[in-house]
Amino acid sequence: MTTSNRNTTLSQPFNNKHFANIPHAACVTLFTRNGRVGCGTFDRNVQTGRLVSWTAVASHNNAANGAGRGLAGLSTVPPYVAVVDEADYTAETVAQLINYSQGFAAGDQYGNVDIGGPLRGILVLASANGGGSYASPEPLAPQGDNTPSEALTVSPSYEWNVNNNGDGLTTQDMYGLPTAYVYDSATVEYLREVASDQASLDLAVQQDGSDNAYPSILAEFNYYMGPATHDGSTATSKTCLEWKDVDGSWNPRCLPLGGNSVWSVAGSPLPLGYNAGDGRPVVWIAAGMDSTSMFHDMVPGANTAASNILAVLLAAQVIGGVKDEVLDQLYGRIGFALFQGEAYGYLGSRRFLKDVMGGFECQKGNEGVASVYKRKEEETTTRACLHPLRADLTFQNLGTVRGMIAVDQVGNLGGGKNFYVQGGESTGGFGGFLGQVMVELSTENYSVQASAASQNAQDDGSYPLPPTPLASLVKVSDSAYGGVVLTGYDDAFVANSYYHSHLDSTSKFQSIDSDAIATAATILARTAVAAAYQTEAGDVDAETAATYAKELIPDAVSSSSEGFQKLYSCLFQDGNCETFLSYATVEEKNDAARTGVDLGIGQPLKSPPNYYVSIYDLDNGQAAVRASGKLYGSLDDEDGDDVKSYGDDENDVFILRPSLLETSIFGIFNDYLGRGAFSNDEENSSAELVKCQSTTDCSSVSYCSTATSSLALPTCAGGQCICGSRSHYHPALDEAIIPTKNKYPNYFEIQEGDAGVSALYTEPFWDSGVGVRIYNDAGKTPGTWAMSMGAVAALVCFMAVYRLKKTLVKEKVY
């Protein structure tokens, strides 16, 4: 017996309260600018079929009909769920299964014609070991040709993913084909055995027409994730964001992907007032902080996210050990940025760079308002913009972008000891200088060399860049600015690195080179120092600049250090580690003391870590403004009689609840980069930092008094008082999407003047009962007997009660 959908509405956002009785992760639907990708059921009705091994299905098909469709040619195929080993879960396998399932005539006794065939879903089983070959679900050209992000990528035809057999499954629309990944080892073995046993039995039924396949083990999918069309047209992100109910009320059916990028600067903190920066050009050390896979609850991102994050954080730690006064004397400033949502159309880097490079205009005045109204007179209060909403406008005080040093996939070097420089001369003169510096910074154990890809021009005259934040800089600036990417691969991603796969982890499948990450962090830090040392006139050559950087940073990062090991454990093994929780708890208290609102700690990174960007709403990183007790995603108090004005209530404030990962990175940047001011005080340079639980505990700290900047005030970060806050959040949201003004958060619209180039990813609301259920079906004949026996039992009971009642009446006791 199947279970009907327990909540037939889609009025609530995604949640993960499965009614499933097996542990699994789902392949989900995403909408884009032009359609949809991913999996899901056709409608709110469940899809049910008996478990059948994919290999048995394929073998029978080939044996029965040669090149034909064996199962599809039979008129009595019962609905089935294909059980596939993860090594076989490829675009080719999915295409074959769909092909086998088609071609049924009307009137099929199982109703196959209603949904295009007997295939009701796919269960992907985790492999018992790491052997075999596995395909990356991303295309050969990630975020390139025929993907939603192709207009945003440099040389979109270049095939970076060829060594991982990229098959583009992530870009496929598998509407009507729910798919789940089962990872529990005991459950996997049971399902594998059942599916194999039932395959031969099912095929026998199909041949002789008998019904002896019962009892069967069935899988029931309840994974409706939105319709295929809207008002007769293709369903897209735009249609689901603009969805209106039959009564005309606006009731969106999805939310955009997004979150918050985190950026910071080395040296003295930036001033917070409007147009108060020193104008020094900035060279950025940058990377993405997210990854993806076919199963969004399983995105370990070991090589595609964790390695990059760790390298950037450690580079910040090394540079933070240099005195602020030394860094302040360099020609350029060094900035750090970890961008959110890079796997889905460069959400973080494009939004940040467009804002920083002159694309942002605050419609309520570029000087903005105090982010905490009651602190409006304080110089340490960040400015914010009401519409379009920005909770922090400090980015306006950054100098021009000089260039970018990005990092990508440095945890797996394919067993070698070579790093590669992507970009270099192909991104302009300064990029060429950065590339030469990196080569000069080769170490005894690891070499750095120009990649083959960066030396080969494409047919259109461009040089390929991997899908990293540097691609955003080149595209947003129209090639006016460039840089380099330090990678662990040459002209293609390393084989068996499982790019954007649920297998990109440290268990069973690949080995992460800790020493390589530590070396990459050292190279990043020294390259940034060399870049800041070189003036605009270019009067310092690469060798001289590299020598200066090595003298300023003589000690390399060690993978055996306590700091490295703690961060490694958090990023690769336990995302809810004590270190991250410590930083996040401090930032929670700091923010509560500053705003008067305690929002708690944001969404966890989970254990093991999960680097999927997630949806963007009030609980997941969307900033909001509270005016007279009412929340808005964006506010224009001149538009609408019932709209509150900011400042009418002294408790008006901007609020933001980043994820645990984002909050932890914010605190870590503050901690590492705030120590440069502490080291300026020679008398206290060997003293231990004062312990704290929040910034209020740091008011009596004296060692920040000699800092070169008046903004280097005592701040609590990670449980220690450091000097000055240097970290900032920036929204990572598709450039075409803005929060609707004068509306509660979670409502978004496509902004006027949309260039039509962004990917525009959104995730539909899920039903509250989504999941997969496995159960034993007694079949038709046993079911009939059970019903008959029940009827007989009921009749017997009725007659007994009737006779008893008559007896009691007769005896006058009733």
pLDDT in tens, 400-449: 999 999 999 999 999 999 999 999 877 678 999 999 999 999 999 999 99
Cα 221 versus chain centre, distance = 25
Q: State mean pLDDT over 26-55.
A: 92
Q: Label residue 399 exposed, middle or buried (CB < 10 Å: 0-12, 13-18, 19+).
A: middle
pLDDT at 17: 35
pLDDT higher than threshold 80 for residue 21: no
Contact 487, 524 (CB under 8 A): no
pLDDT at 779: 55
pLDDT band at 205 (very low <50, low <70, confident <90, very high): very low
DSSP string of 692-715, one letter each residue:
-SSGGGGTT--TTTT-SSTT--EE
Beta strands in 257-314 (DSSP E): 258-265, 282-288
Q: Does residue 760 or residue 377 have the better pLDDT?
A: 760
**What average pLDDT is seen over the chain?**
86
Closest CA to 79 of 781, 786, 784, 777: 777
pLDDT higher than threshold 50 for residue 112: no
- 29: helix, strand or coil: strand
pLDDT band at 809 (very low <50, low <70, confident <90, very high): very low
pLDDT higher than threshold 50 for residue 7: no
Domain ranges in the chain?
A: 24-127+137-152+164-172+181-236+765-777, 258-759, 779-814
pLDDT at 794: 56
Cα 456 versus chain centre, distance = 32
pLDDT at 113: 39
pLDDT higher than threshold 70 for residue 256: yes
pLDDT at 798: 52
CA gyration radius, the chain:
30
Q: Does residue 258 or residue 205 have the better pLDDT?
A: 258
pLDDT higher than threshold 90 for residue 132: no
pLDDT higher than threshold 60 for residue 792: no
pLDDT at 77: 67
170-197: per-residue pLDDT in tens?
A: 999 999 899 999 999 999 999 999 998 8
In which residue are the tokens 């896979």 written? 293
pLDDT at 581: 97
Separate counts of helices (H) and strands (E) for the chain:
15, 31
pLDDT band at 199 (very low <50, low <70, confident <90, very high): confident
- In angstroms, the CA 225 to CA 797 distance is 47
Of the listed ranges 35-39, 224-228, 494-498, the one predicted with least confidence: 224-228
299-345: per-residue pLDDT in tens?
A: 999 999 999 999 999 999 999 999 999 999 999 999 999 999 999 99
Cα 476-391-273 angle, rounded to 5 deg? 90
pLDDT band at 463 (very low <50, low <70, confident <90, very high): confident
Closest CA to 585 of 716, 721, 732, 691: 716
pLDDT at 716: 95
Contact 655, 419 (CB under 8 A): no
pLDDT band at 699 (very low <50, low <70, confident <90, very high): confident
62-102: per-residue pLDDT in tens?
A: 554 443 334 444 445 678 899 999 999 999 999 988 887 76
pLDDT higher than threshold 80 for residue 16: no
Q: Over 116-142, what HEC string results?
A: CCCEEEEEEECCCCCCCCCCCCCCCCC
Contact 348, 341 (CB under 8 A): yes
216-251: per-residue pLDDT in tens?
A: 889 999 999 888 777 767 889 999 999 998 899 999
**Percentage of the residues of the chain whose pLDDT score is greater than 70:** 84
722-737: per-residue pLDDT in tens?
A: 999 999 999 999 999 9
DSSP string of 402-419, one letter each residue:
EEEEEEE--S--TTS-EE
Q: Name beta bridge partners: 259.
A: 732
pLDDT higher than threshold 90 for residue 688: no
Q: Could you tell me the two tokens for 318?
A: 């090394």
Q: State mean pLDDT over 564-573.
A: 97
pLDDT at 427: 67
Sequence-distant (6+) residues with CB within 8 A of 548 are 529, 530, 533, 540
Query: Which helix (DSSP H) or strand (DSSP E) does residue 523 occupy?
Result: helix 514-533
pLDDT at 790: 55
pLDDT at 447: 97
Of the listed ranges 117-126, 432-441, 594-603, 786-795, the one predicted with least confidence: 786-795
What number of other Cβ atoms are within 10 A of residue 94's Cβ?
22
pLDDT higher than threshold 50 for residue 2: no
Contact 272, 711 (CB under 8 A): yes
DSSP string of 744-776, one letter each residue:
-TT-EEEPTT--S-S---EEE---TT-EEEEEE
DSSP string of 453-507, one letter each residue:
GGGS--TTS-----SSHHHHHHHHTTTSS-EEEEES-SSSPPTTS-TTSTT-SSS
Of the listed ranges 93-107, 119-133, 493-507, the one predicted with least confidence: 93-107
